[in-house]
């Protein structure tokens, strides 16, 4: 019995070896592209234990053949992806690790095989000189072919790779601002809006465009003892995008006064009075500069929710603005106390200059 088992084993091996003529896949050089790619190819590493082995396919309903590639899989994938995923500041550099790339088939009928191409990839980014796993991809591409149609294997493998990189591109688009592995930090771009409208209800703050009494267009408020009232305020707009591993947060600050809510009484249009109102406007600009500083230096600025944090700091700055305005009017008695008015004029001018200088330094140090 023992000898019979040995003869049977040798006989089966002989039959198997008689059909082991490899099927060679020659990948076409046509590059793989996806629409609006979000990553660039850094390199590809083939981590498969049997790098020359791509599985087994059927040569007929009764025999199989091993699958081989004319070139190394890592080199093939690199050639296919290099053109469509070139380095760009808006793209994430990615290392692709090939964990599995294998074909397997079963008989569908006397003339056809039903096959599966299994592709498993891992995608890494570099952080501090070390690769960090970003995400993985595993897919089974099912196909049918005639036994003689071996060139279909190349098309199936190409489509599997195309689906994988499309998945990654979409994944990065969705997660680029969320994934800690993709974001090194936040870089701020702070912009002051100062473009004036030819005709409009708003005057945007600019040192080159001081206020004039023509900007006070509302009717004087009944019951008010003030000679004039200005309505200054501020707002911000923001949008972000991913650039070279950082969230680039562009914030545009608008410091402005509203003409239709600002007024002056007839007979009160003096240079002294106008300067008092200008200082109200300057206070808002000072608050905006300090708002910028809070944003840039805020330790609680969270990559996952920086929009909410900026909004919180905005509300704090808005409350500061109201406190400053009330204190200014209280101590100057709405401009009637000339000595206090002179002191505040100097204080606001110096504080504003210092704040603008400090903002510029803080932004430069964050670049």
At 180, the pLDDT band (50, 70, 90 cuts) reads confident
Give CA–CA dist 178/183, Å, rounded: 8
Lowest mean pLDDT among 115-119, 198-202, 229-233, 301-305: 301-305
Buried/exposed 164-179: b ≥16 CB within 10 Å, e otherwise: bbbbbbebbeeebeeb
Residue 20's pLDDT is 60
Q: Which residues contact 127 (CB under 8 A, 6 or more apart)?
A: 181, 184
Q: Which residues contact 9 (CB under 8 A, 6 or more apart)?
A: none
Give CA–CA dist 157/117, Å, rounded: 7
Q: Does pLDDT of 17 surpass 80?
A: no
Mark out the alpha helices in the chain (DSSP H runs): 2-18, 73-82, 152-175, 271-297, 306-332, 338-366
Residue 367's pLDDT is 66
Burial category of 365 from C-beta neighbours within 10 Å (exposed 0-12, middle 13-18, buried 19 and up): exposed
Any idea of the CA torsion for 174, 178, 179, 183, to the nearest 10 degrees? 110
Compute φ and ψ for 96, nearest 5 degrees: -105, 125
Average pLDDT over residues 293-297: 95
Average pLDDT over residues 247-264: 96
Look up the pTM and report it: 0.65
What does pLDDT average to over the chain?
A: 90
Question: CA end-to-end span of the chain, whole Å?
Answer: 81
Residue 2's pLDDT is 37
Residue 1's pLDDT is 35
Q: Does pLDDT of 302 surpass 90?
A: no
* Percent residues over pLDDT 90 in the chain: 76
At 87, the pLDDT band (50, 70, 90 cuts) reads very high
Average pLDDT over residues 138-153: 95
Q: How many CB atoms lie within 10 A of CB 130?
A: 8
At 178, the pLDDT band (50, 70, 90 cuts) reads confident
Q: Does pLDDT of 304 surpass 80?
A: no
């Amino acid at each position: 019995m023992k000898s019979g088992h040995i003869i049977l084993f040798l006989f089966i091996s002989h039959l198997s070896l008689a059909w082991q003529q490899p099927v060679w896949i020659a990948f076409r050089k046509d590059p793989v592209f996806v629409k609006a790619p979000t990553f660039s190819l850094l390199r590809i590493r083939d981590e498969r234990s049997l790098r020359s082995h791509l599985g087994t396919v059927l040569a007929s309903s009764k025999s199989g053949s091993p699958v081989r590639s004319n070139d190394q899989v890592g080199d093939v994938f690199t050639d296919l992806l290099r053109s469509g995923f070139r380095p760009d500041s808006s793209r994430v550099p990615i290392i692709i690790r090939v964990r599995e790339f294998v074909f397997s088939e079963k008989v569908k009928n006397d003339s056809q095989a039903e096959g599966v191409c299994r592709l498993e990839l891992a995608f890494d980014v570099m952080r501090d000189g070390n690769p960090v796993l970003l995400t993985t991809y595993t897919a089974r591409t099912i196909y049918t072919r005639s036994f003689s149609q071996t060139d279909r294997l190349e098309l199936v493998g190409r489509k599997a790779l195309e689906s994988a990189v499309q998945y990654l591109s979409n994944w990065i688009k969705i997660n680029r601002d969320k994934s800690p592995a993709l974001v090194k930090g936040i870089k701020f771009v702070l912009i002051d809006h100062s473009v004036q409208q030819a005709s409009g209800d708003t005057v945007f703050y600019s040192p080159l465009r001081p206020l004039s009494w023509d900007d006070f267009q509302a009717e004087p408020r009944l019951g008010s003892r003030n000679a004039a009232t200005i309505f200054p305020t501020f707002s911000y707009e923001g949008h972000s995008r991913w650039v070279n591993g950082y969230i680039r947060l562009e914030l545009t600050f608008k410091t402005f006064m509203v003409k239709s809510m600002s007024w002056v009484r007839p007979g009160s249009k003096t240079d002294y009075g106008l300067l008092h109102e200008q200082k109200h406007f300057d206070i808002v600009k000072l608050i905006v500069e300090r708002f910028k500083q809070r944003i840039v230096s805020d330790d609680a600025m969270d990559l996952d929710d920086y929009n909410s944090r900026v909004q919180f700091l905005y509300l704090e700055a808005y409350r500061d603005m109201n406190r400053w305005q009330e204190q200014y009017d209280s101590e100057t008695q709405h401009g009637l106390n000339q000595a206090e008015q002179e002191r505040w004029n100097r204080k606001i001018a110096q504080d504003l200059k210092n704040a603008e200088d400090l903002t510029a330094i803080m932004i430069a140090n964050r670049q």
